[in-house]
Structure 1
Amino acid sequence: MTSKHLIGVCLAAMIAACGQNTPKPESPTEQLSAEDTLMQQLIDAKAGDVIEVPEGKLSFKRGLSLTVNGVTIRGKGMDKSVLSFSDQIAGAEGLLVTASDFTIEDLAIEDAKGDALKVNEGNNITIRRIRTEWTNGPKTENGAYGIYPVQTTNVLMEDNVAIGASDAGIYVGQSKNVVVRRNRAEYNVAGIEIENTIGADVYENVATNNTGGILVFNMPALKQAGSTTRVYDNKVFANNLGNFGHAGTPVASVPAGTGVIVNSNDKVEIFNNEISDNKTSNVIISSLFETGYSDDEKSDTFDPYPESIFIYGNTFSGGGNAPDRAGLEAARVALFGEDGSFPDVLWDGYVDPAKMVDGKLPDDLRICVDNGDAEMLNADAQNKYAAPALVTDEHKCTLEKLPAIELNRER
Structure 2
Amino acid sequence: MQNRVVITGVGVVSPLGNTEEAFWNNLKEGVCGIDRITKFELVDGYDVTLAAEVKDFEASKYVEKREVRRLDLFSQYAIYAAKEALINAKLNMDDEDASKVGVIVGSGIGGLGTIETGMRTLIEKGPKRVSPLFIPMVIGNMGAGNVAIYTGAKGICTSIVTACASGTHSIGEAYRALQKGANDVILAGGAEAAITPLGIASFQSLTALSKSQDPKRASIPFDKERNGFVMGEGAGIVVMETLEHATKRGATILAEVVGYGATGDAYHITSPDPEGEGAARAMADAIHEAGIEPSQVDYINAHGTSTEYNDKFETLAIKKVFGADTKVPVSSTKSMTGHLLGAAGAIEVIAVTKALQEGFIPATIGYQVADEACDLDYVPNEGRKVDIEYALSNSLGFGGHNGTILLKKWKGEV
TM over 0.5: no
Where relative contact order (Cα < 8 A, 6+ residues apart) is larger, the structure is 2
Q: Normalized per residue, which structure has more strand?
A: 1
TM-score (norm 2): 0.23
TM-score (norm 1): 0.23
